[in-house]
Amino acid sequence: MTSGRGRRSYFPRAGRRTFGKNHPGAWSIISTMAAIATSPLDQIDAKLAERLLAAALEGGADYADLYFEYAAGAHFGFEDGQVKSVGKGVTLGLGVRVLKGDSTGYAYTEELAEDRMLEAARTAGRIAAAGGGAGPVALTRVSGLDLYKINEAPWDRPGAEKVEMLRQADRAARAYDPRIVRVEVGWGESLKDVLVVTSDGKIARDFQPMIRFTVGAVAEEGGQRQTGRSAGAARRGMELFRIEGQSPSEHGTEAARLAIAMLKAEDAPAGPMEVVLGPGESGILLHEAVGHGLEADFNRKKTSNYTDMIGQSVASPLVTVVDDGTLMNARGSINVDDEGNPGRRNVLIENGKLVAYMQDRISSKHFGTQASGNGRRESFRHEPLPRMTNTLMMAGQDEPGDIIRSVKKGIYAKHFSGGQVNISNGDFVFSLTESYLIEDGKLTAPLKGVNLIGNGPDVLRKVVMVGNDFQLSPGTWTCGKDGQSVPVGIGNPTMKISEITVGGTKAQ
Amino acid sequence: MSTNKRLPEAAACQRAAEQMLSYALEAGADGVEVMVRDGAELEVRLRLGEPELIKEAGSRALGLRVIKDQRPAVTYTSDFTEEGLRRLARESVELASLAEPDPFALLPAREVMARTVPDLDLWDDEVPNLTVELALEWTKRGEAAAQARDKRITNSDGASFSRVVGATAFATSAGFSGGYRGTYVSLVVQPLADDEGGKKRNGSWWTGGRFVSALETPESVGQTAADRTLAQLGSQKVATCEVPVIFAPEAGRSLMGKLAGVTSGGAVWRKSTYLADREGTEVASPLIHIVDDPLIPRAPGSRPFDGEGLASRPNVIVDGGILRTFLCDTYAARKLNRVSTGSAGRGIGGSAHVTTSNLILRAGSTPKAKLEQLPEAFYVTHLMGFGFNAVTGDFSQGASGFWIKNGERAFPVSEVTISSSFDNLWKNVDALGDDLDARSSVQVPTIRVSHMMIAGR
């Protein structure tokens, strides 16, 4: 223990200063900070952690870690011109993970009474056969990053101010066009206090904020309806809404614009075509086409189509893909991961060559490499897995306008709702919510929602132009794996794929 | 290793729910709903004969909805101390003041509440007694059967066992309090085979049910999983074309899930379904009969009362292709000026919303093999992606399965999409198999659609 020596030593609250102070008043009852100001994790001292780790290891396991979590969140829902729902919740618990070789024992408790925590530790520890295990060593604080600088903490602001922002978005959407018949606006804020203590001596504490603003609009004309959505999410404070494109009224206008534009949408073509992917949200292609396949667990188990391919060419030389957990204030960024390692920027593919996988503890031991800051989990109820943070494709040389002009007949993809991949063979789909036909180098008709389907390595070899206009998507992206959801970021420049299958209804 | 000592008790949950109800009324709420869930889970994953994960835990949580002056608020906690519950009650009532008055946000009328809690036989005493050792043995046997099936099975994504035992209780100031318990156990096996060009093929198979006696043997699960994996070796992309499409129940379930979404009363009043104005009209082929039935003994989706304390009842959604009703909870029903169909579901962290229980597409009379008697067709075993717009009914999804030529399965297909409007998809159903798959809470037979657009090469 760093400063045990017979007295209680608490785990320091790094980063607390970034959250401002809590103001009393009506809002404090729904203030996440009010809850965090007296976090029960402050009561966890080093001696207690040591006792829990000892209990987890008494069966003879190799390693154990404790993941304490105290999360508070609040939300508003606004529809039909009114605040329709308000809610809040608090989650508290401890997850104990014990490793013996590649095997994981896991247990959790929602009660932080010592007997309950010891029971969870022993339950998880049963993974190991009996025998003397390594005891915990001296704990050292991991200095994480400081990526969530917040100027104006949302939990310090009155509810009325947030309600006014919901109204602004609603008004902007309705003012955009009289054919907008319905608007829904959502607000979410959360703060997660995390304490990780590992039997190999690491302590990490992190306070992870998130703010989310979403607008959905429905347009109606002649019995036809269409929807549009605009959303922003980041580890930021109220200053998020002063960024261009992120104000409540801009989100309202954008959702309405999309819904109205889609009223004129035509049936999309079916079959292989040239496709230009717009900047920002098209990063979902990387997330699905290569991201998941480069998570180390699948490669350790040899179940990914990228197994044993480090050093080999897996994409066009124009393609450089990075998973970067260190972008300031980004949704997918982490000061420390959920195994107590600092967030990192990891180059996955460099000029088409596969450089590295994203690691968690089990996999990094297997590959004999160091932790890459990708060990993440949804909550104390879940074991860590190798996960993406912000997965990005680096900018290239081409002017975006030139890329579009180079296409005689094809598709321009602008907005996406999501994607999915089969890790084993690399087949993926992603779903377009806003796209246009390109004819003779110009965007023409808007197209109805359509899927693109391809194979990861195949499509990445067909990247033939890459723009100089990298954008990080400001959206509310969430990645699911093995039933666990974590917030992630995506980003890319404009890029052209020489051929990908477009899943429309119109034969060409 | 022992199993969890403490079993979830419906009566204990109900006491906690009633306690919270009285605290919230004392705190000044006009209307109160409390949901309490207590559960214990065991998850065991094994891969290549070695345990990969053993996860065991119990979990208890309480969700509260209060209404004060027509203003609702929802909150949740896992802190069951008296002090914690009383504080949540006070904070929730204060929180409601931030909402705006919503005349539709009322509790259901007293006279529609459930009077009894029918015993639907949802609890199997055997399930909580399934030990870690047994789970390891089942997963080992399932995986081994898959690996032994064929030498082309070269790897494994493992085998997983899961058992959940839980109690749910609900108490409302509208005049109902009740609780029930349930069990569920499942086993899944996922083998891998190497295909040409460095691709791998993964198939899987699973068995599951509320009763241990309903499960397939681990060996049978493993063998089916291996056969499904091997069947995909040599998958090809086909040329873009329009052909009949046959959906195996594995794929058909996701079609039914989408249909449930667009026939939900919540989507109707939000104008977010293409079926909003179509009640009483033809929305599917005359072959289609769909019912949501929460009262089937031992079924995975059964519930003795709904998420607002209303009596559960079967609802016919589509009858001979005609849309008979939208499923409604109390809020959607008030918005649509009708009565609830008893279809409210509720999670711990939110308000009631429309959910299905056991959603069943009635089987047809065509033997499955006969459905494939076509000169050319695409038999879909797996759908991928998010390509469905509920508002417009545009449907475009990734698909894999088999190509059928002259009534035979000619070769496996992957990396194509199938597209249609969802409306046309259901109207163009020209045959239903006699093979209802009753393992899950969405039950479908094999479904054949006369034509859809396939986008491929």
Render A431-484 in DSSP notation, one character per residue: EEEEEEEEETTEEEEEE--EEEEEEHHHHHHTEEEEBS--EE--S--EEEETTE
Task: Provide the pLDDT for residue A129.
Answer: 64
Report the SS3 class of residue A382: coil
Q: Which regions of A101-235 does DSSP assign to beta strands (E)? A: 103-109, 140-141, 180-198, 202-221, 224-234
d(CA B146, CA A30): 52
Residues of chain A with Cβ-Cβ distance to B195 below 8 Å are 425
Sequence-distant (6+) residues with CB within 8 A of B246 are: B371, B372, B377, B378, B379, B380, B404, B446, B447, B448, B449
Helix (H, G, I), strand (E, B) or coil at A394: coil
Do A82 and B102 make contact, defined as CB atoms within 8 angstroms?
yes
pLDDT confidence of residue A133: 52
The rounded distance, in Å, linking the Cα atoms of B202 and B193 is 7
Task: Output the pLDDT for position A11.
Answer: 52
Going from the C-alpha of A163 to that of each of A160, A218, A367, B100, B228, the distances in angstroms are 5, 21, 51, 10, 53
Angstrom CA distances, A379 to A193, A485, B14, B346, stand at 11, 9, 27, 21
| Record: contact A92-B453, CB cut-off 8 A | no
pLDDT in tens, B312-350: 999 999 999 999 999 999 999 999 999 999 999 998 887
Size of interface A-B (CB pairs under 8 A): 250
The pLDDT of residue A424 is 86
Q: What is the pLDDT of residue A53?
A: 95
The closest CB to that of A424, out of B201, B237, B396, belongs to B201
Contacts of B97 in chain A (CB under 8 A): 26
Task: Please answer yes or no on whether A107 and B56 come within 8 Å at the CB atom.
Answer: yes
Residue B260's contacts (CB-CB under 8 Å, 6 or more residues apart) are B292, B327, B356, B359, B442
pLDDT in tens, B365-375: 999 889 999 99
Would you call B78 and A302 a contact, using CB atoms and an 8 Å cutoff?
A: no
Contact A350/A320 with Cβ under 8 angstroms? yes
For residue A126, the chain B residue with the least C-alpha distance is: B1
Would you say A502 and A452 are in contact if contact means Cβ atoms under 8 Å apart? yes
Predicted pLDDT of residue B443: 97
- Nearest residue to B383 (alpha-carbon basis) of A451, A457, A456, A481: A451
Over residues B208-237, mean pLDDT: 96
Which residue in A31, A80, A110 has the most chain B C-beta atoms within 10 A of its own C-beta, making it the best mutation to test that interface?
A110
* CA angle, B388 then B393 then B396, to 5°: 40
Chain A environment of B100 (Cβ under 8 Å): 82-84
How buried is residue B422: exposed, middle or buried, by Cβ count under 10 Å (0-12/13-18/19+)? buried
Cβ of B98 and A89 within 8 Å?
no
Nearest C-alpha neighbor of B46 from the set B213, B191, B195:
B191
Q: Does residue A175 or residue B103 have the better pLDDT?
A: A175
Query: How close B104 gets to chain A, by Cα (Å)?
Result: 10
More confident residue, A144 or B422: B422
* Among candidate residues A124, A280, A386, A348, the one with its CA nearest the CA of residue B54: A124
Put simply, the answer to whether B100 touches A82 (Cβ < 8 Å) is yes
- The confidence score (pLDDT) of residue B58 equals 87
Burial of B259 (C-beta count, 10 Å sphere; 0-12/13-18/19+)? buried
When CB atoms are compared, the residue of A30, A109, A425 closest to B199 is: A425
Contact yes or no for A454 and B415 at CB 8 A: yes
Residue with token string 């039950």: B443
Q: What is the CA radius of gyration of chain A?
A: 24
Looking at beta carbons, which residues of chain A come within 8 Å of B237? 501
Whether residue A29 and residue B91 make contact (CB cut-off 8 A), yes or no, is yes
Asked if B196 has any chain A CB less than 8 Å from its own CB, the reply is no
Contacts with B391 from chain A: Cβ below 8 Å? 218, 225-227
Top residue of A161, A453, A477, A501 to mutate, by most chain B CBs within 10 Å, is A453
Q: From residue B33, give the alpha-carbon distance in Å to each of A436, B22, B36, B77.
A: 48, 11, 10, 14
Q: Looking at CA atoms only, how far is residue A5 from chain B in angstroms? A: 33
- 8 Å CB contact of B389 and A305: no
Nearest CA of chain B to the CA of A68: how many Å? Answer: 15
Residues 401-440 of B with CB under 8 A from A: 414-421
* Grouped pLDDT means (10 residues each) for chain A, 508 residues: 34 35 30 57 90 92 95 90 88 94 93 93 82 60 84 86 95 98 95 94 93 96 91 95 96 97 93 96 90 95 93 96 97 96 97 97 94 96 97 97 98 92 88 94 93 91 98 93 94 97 87
Q: How far apart are the C-alpha atoms of A476 and A211, rounded to whole Å?
A: 10
Inter-chain contact B79–A93, Cβ cutoff 8 Å? no
Tokens of residue A503, six digits:
């899943």
Average pLDDT over residues B206-227: 97
- pTM for the structure as a whole: 0.92
Could you give the CA distance from residue B163 to residue B56 in angstroms, rounded to a whole number?
Answer: 10
> CA dist B74 to A59, B32, B294, Å?
43, 10, 26
The predicted-structure confidence for B269-308, as pLDDT tens digits, reads as follows 998 999 999 999 999 999 999 999 999 999 999 999 999 9
- Tell me how far apart the alpha carbons of residues A364 and A102 are, in angstroms, rounded to a whole number: 11
**A136 φ, ψ (degrees, to nearest 5):** -65, 150
Any A CB within 8 A of B347 CB:
no
Note the residue count of chain A.
508
- With an 8 Å Cβ cutoff, is B385 touching chain A? yes
Q: Which residues of B touch A448 (CB under 8 A)?
A: 389, 392, 394
Structure token digits, residue B114: 């459930």
**CA–CA gap between residue B353 and residue B332 (Å, rounded):** 8
d(CA B382, CA A291): 22
In chain A, which residue's Cα lies nearest the Cα of B89? A29
> In chain A, whose CA is at the least distance from the CA of B44?
A105
